[in-house]
């Protein structure tokens, strides 16, 4: 089949979510005119995950699937052969094929964008009322329980668990959040900002219990009725949301020749997102890569913007490897709790975290003489300017001068 790049004709993408879709879109934008096959294990059309723990749980909104594109758009505009509902199960690098269901799909170039799955709490499989939150189906189950007025326990005070707690509180439902760390989110944003985020839970009526482990789920007739903590107390619950992190979607790649990270089995890529198998790239939450902007620190991010940026880069590099460039990126994520927008740019590992403003909150992260991170609450446009400064490797003093001269912003009031 002729292609405008003239070099190959079979482009396969495994993982039909954000990174996979952005890969496909970028390939077409770059002028690739050959076959594209997009393989997704879920039966749904590609959809956006961030709304699942936000608007989708809101009683004021209809639970509409946040789809990126229609089937017609994917087929007619992007020319994609969409294969949904069955996972890819293996790669054969020698023959250049991906195994799916009973068949095989040939590839010249392959992008793996299989993201991650929610980590489960051992021993809770099959108990009704216990859910992770990664997929549309998870979100639907959680929404249904909230609609029924569930007493909710969230295990893990990470961003997704915190958003679920916020959604439940907005409905006036009782929520307990159980967190094993003494301060939540320290790995993501550091101790100081973690404390500020924890305060949002207290101010909005969620019962946040830190430094507490979970001993087990109490169930009756196969349905959760409570969560037993390691201090001996049991919290009654109709809905238990487990937010204890994710596992990269790479079980199917064991033995394929694609190198996996020794700790979490994410895919180890070089700076251009190439894997250890020729012609195979990776993108999104599944990837570890050395980020040149932070001294080639190996990173695996679970952020929307990173997945989108990776998809575009992986497509460009797969199509034209000769002009592949290292993917340099300032990590960015946001999270919405209790009517507040928390945003973080950069990395939290710092020599010092300075709180520049308390209300609305702005903190800067310094490593040596450089600004490496910033966290804001309710300063949505300002954080993007700080992201730019980090991308430019600005000095800490320049970032501080910028941050201390920002115009005043009014903080929204808590939901309750």
Which of 114, 162, 176, 272 touches ligand FAD (CB under 6 A)?
Answer: 114
Four-point Cα dihedral 253, 258, 261, 264, nearest 10: -10
What is the rounded distance in angstroms from the CA atom of residue 296 to the CA atom of residue 170? 42
Q: How far is the CB of 249 from ligand FAD (least distance, A)?
A: 4
Q: How far is the CB of 289 from ligand FAD (least distance, A)?
A: 13
**What SS3 state is found at 245?**
coil
What is the rounded distance in angstroms from the CA atom of residue 194 to the CA atom of residue 210? 12
What is the rounded distance in angstroms from the CA atom of residue 294 to the CA atom of residue 369? 13
| Residues in contact with 196: Cβ distance below 8 Å, sequence separation at least 6, in sequence order | 361, 363, 377
Which of 35, 300, 303, 379 touches ligand FAD (CB under 6 A)?
Answer: 303
| Residues in contact with 365: Cβ distance below 8 Å, sequence separation at least 6, in sequence order | 190, 346, 347, 348, 350, 352, 353, 371, 372, 373, 374, 375
83's tokens: 């294969």
19's tokens: 């990174």
Which of 13, 36, 88, 185 touches ligand FAD (CB under 6 A)?
Answer: 88
**What SS3 state is found at 379?**
coil
Output the DSSP codes for 3-65.
-SS-S-SEEEEE--SHHHHHHHHHHHHTT--SEEEEEESSSSPPB-SGGGGTGGG-TTS----
Output the DSSP codes for 149-175.
T--EEEES-SHHHHHHHHHHHHTT--E
Q: How far is the CB of 51 from ligand FAD (least distance, A)?
A: 8
C-beta closer to ligand FAD: residue 194 or 248: 248
Which of 12, 35, 38, 40 touches ligand FAD (CB under 6 A)?
Answer: 40
Contact status: 188 vs ligand FAD (CB under 6 A): no
C-beta closer to ligand FAD: residue 96 or 158: 158
Contact status: 166 vs ligand FAD (CB under 6 A): no
If you ran DSSP here, which 8-state letter would residue 180 be given?
S
Contact status: 289 vs ligand FAD (CB under 6 A): no
Letters for 202-241 (x = contact with ligand FAD by CB under 6 A, - = none) are ----------------------------------------
C-beta closer to ligand FAD: residue 152 or 212: 152
The residue count for binding ligand FAD (CB under 6 A) is: 36
From 26-34, 171-179, 257-265, 333-341, span contacting ligand FAD (CB under 6 A): 333-341
Q: How far is the CB of 357 from ligand FAD (least distance, A)?
A: 23
From 2-10, 38-46, 69-77, 147-155, span contacting ligand FAD (CB under 6 A): 38-46
What is the rounded distance in angstroms from the CA atom of residue 153 to the CA atom of residue 151? 7
Which of 302, 346, 348, 370 touches ligand FAD (CB under 6 A)?
Answer: 302
C-beta closer to ligand FAD: residue 40 or 226: 40
153's tokens: 């326990």
Contacting ligand FAD within 241-270 (CB under 6 A): 249, 252
Q: How far is the CB of 277 from ligand FAD (least distance, A)?
A: 15
From 45-53, 209-217, 365-373, 393-401, span contacting ligand FAD (CB under 6 A): 45-53
**Cα angle, residue 306 at apex, residues 169 and 335 outer, rounded to 5°:** 15
Contact status: 334 vs ligand FAD (CB under 6 A): yes
First vs last C-alpha separation in the chain: 61
Q: How far is the CB of 14 from ligand FAD (least distance, A)?
A: 5
Please name the residue that has the structure tokens 């954080």.
383
Classify strands 175-178 and 152-155 as parallel, antiparallel or unpaired.
parallel
Q: How far is the CB of 304 from ligand FAD (least distance, A)?
A: 4
Contact status: 53 vs ligand FAD (CB under 6 A): yes
Residues that bind ligand FAD (CB under 6 A): 14-20, 39-42, 49-50, 52-53, 87-88, 113-116, 133-134, 160, 249, 252, 284-285, 302-305, 307, 333-335
């Amino acid at each position: 089949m002729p292609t405008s790049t003239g070099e190959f004709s079979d482009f396969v993408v495994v993982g039909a979510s954000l990174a996979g879709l952005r890969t496909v879109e970028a390939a077409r934008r770059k002028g690739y005119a050959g076959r594209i096959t997009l393989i997704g294990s879920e039966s749904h059309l590609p959809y956006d995950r961030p709304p699942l723990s936000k608007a989708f749980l809101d009683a004021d909104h209809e639970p509409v699937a946040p789809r990126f594109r229609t089937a017609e758009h994917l087929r007619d505009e992007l020319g994609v052969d969409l294969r949904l509902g069955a996972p890819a199960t293996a790669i054969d690098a020698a023959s250049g094929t991906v195994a799916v269901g009973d068949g095989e799909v040939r590839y010249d170039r392959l992008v793996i964008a299989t993201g991650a799955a929610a980590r489960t709490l051992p021993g809770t499989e099959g108990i009704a009322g216990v859910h992770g939150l990664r997929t549309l189906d998870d979100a639907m189950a959680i929404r249904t329980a909230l609609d029924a007025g569930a007493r909710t326990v969230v295990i893990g005070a990470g961003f997704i668990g915190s958003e679920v707690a916020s959604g439940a509180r907005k409905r006036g439902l009782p929520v307990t959040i159980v967190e094993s760390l003494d301060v939540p989110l320290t790995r993501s944003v550091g101790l100081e900002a973690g404390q500020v985020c924890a305060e949002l839970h207290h101010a909005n009526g969620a019962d946040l219990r830190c430094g507490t482990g979970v001993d087990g789920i109490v169930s009756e007739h196969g349905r959760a009725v409570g969560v037993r903590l390691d201090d001996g107390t049991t919290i009654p619950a109709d809905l238990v949301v487990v937010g204890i992190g994710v596992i990269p979607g790479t079980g199917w790649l064991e033995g394929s020749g694609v190198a996996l990270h020794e700790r979490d089995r994410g895919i180890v890529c070089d700076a251009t997102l190439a894997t250890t198998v020729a012609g195979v790239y990776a993108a999104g939450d599944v990837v570890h890569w050395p980020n040149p902007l932070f001294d080639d620190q190996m990173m695996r991010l679970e952020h929307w913007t990173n997945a989108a940026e990776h998809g575009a880069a992986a497509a460009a590099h797969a199509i034209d490897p000769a002009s592949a460039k290292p993917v340099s990126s300032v990590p960015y994520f946001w999270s919405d709790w209790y009517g507040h927008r928390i945003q973080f740019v950069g990395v939290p590992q710092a020599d010092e975290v300075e709180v520049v403003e308390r209300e609305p909150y702005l903190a800067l992260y310094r490593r040596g003489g450089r600004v490496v991170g910033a966290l804001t609450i309710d300063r949505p446009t300002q954080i993007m300017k700080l992201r730019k400064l980090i991308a430019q490797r600005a000095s800490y003093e320049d970032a501080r001068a910028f941050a201390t001269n920002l115009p005043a912003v009014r903080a929204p009031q808590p939901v309750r």
